[in-house]
Amino acid sequence: MEKITPVDIEQRQFNVSFRGFDRKEVDTFMDEVVQSLEEMIRENNMLKEEIDQLKKELQGFENKEKTLNEAICSINRIAEEIKANAEREAELILKNAEAEGEKQIYEANQRIAKLKDEIYELRKQRILFESGLKSLIRTHEDLLSKAFGGELSEDSLPPD
């Protein structure tokens, strides 16, 4: 079936017969049909244009949605990477701090051991010094005792 256009309706001619329809009524009705069909075609074209425009807008929104989804995925991926990097960095900082703490404890223990050794050496030196001093004092006492003939008393010591 062919599409009938308003022009087809306007140009359509009917044969006149003896008992046919009133020509004026048919022409008037045909004019109304033509106007109605023209308006429907205009409305149909307008609706098609509107549908095309809405399809374009929908495509634009779908593209924006796709872009937003990609951006969200990218942001989530970056956030995960940042989080993983931060965790690795925190772990590294913690390990470095622990290593530095252990190093400082080791150095402190080394210093304590060295100080203990120095204290031990100083005590040994004090004991040797005291022993030597006592020995020197005894030797001097013996010499003085021999020099003054016997026992020493404070009276027998020479004046200062």
For the stretch 40-54, pLDDT in tens is 999 999 999 999 999
What does the alpha-carbon distance between residue 110 and residue 117 come to, in Å, rounded to a whole number? Answer: 10
Residue 29 lies in a domain: yes
**Structure confidence by residue, pLDDT tens digits, 76-121:** 999 999 999 999 999 999 999 999 999 999 999 999 999 999 999 9
Residue 52 lies in a domain: no
Residue 115: predicted pLDDT: 96
Prediction pTM value: 0.46
152, pLDDT greater than 60? no
Residue 65 lies in a domain: yes
Confidence of residue 156 (pLDDT cuts 50, 70, 90): low
Confidence of residue 28 (pLDDT cuts 50, 70, 90): confident
Q: Which residue has 């003054």 as its token pair?
A: 148
Residue 97 lies in a domain: yes
What does the alpha-carbon distance between residue 88 and residue 76 come to, in Å, rounded to a whole number? Answer: 18
Domain count, the chain: 1
Confidence of residue 155 (pLDDT cuts 50, 70, 90): low
Task: Supply the range of the domain harboring residue 141.
Answer: 22-47+61-147
Residue 151 identity (one-letter amino acid): E
Confidence of residue 72 (pLDDT cuts 50, 70, 90): very high
pLDDT averaged over every residue in the chain? 88
What does the alpha-carbon distance between residue 65 and residue 123 come to, in Å, rounded to a whole number? Answer: 85
What does the alpha-carbon distance between residue 160 and residue 145 come to, in Å, rounded to a whole number? Answer: 17
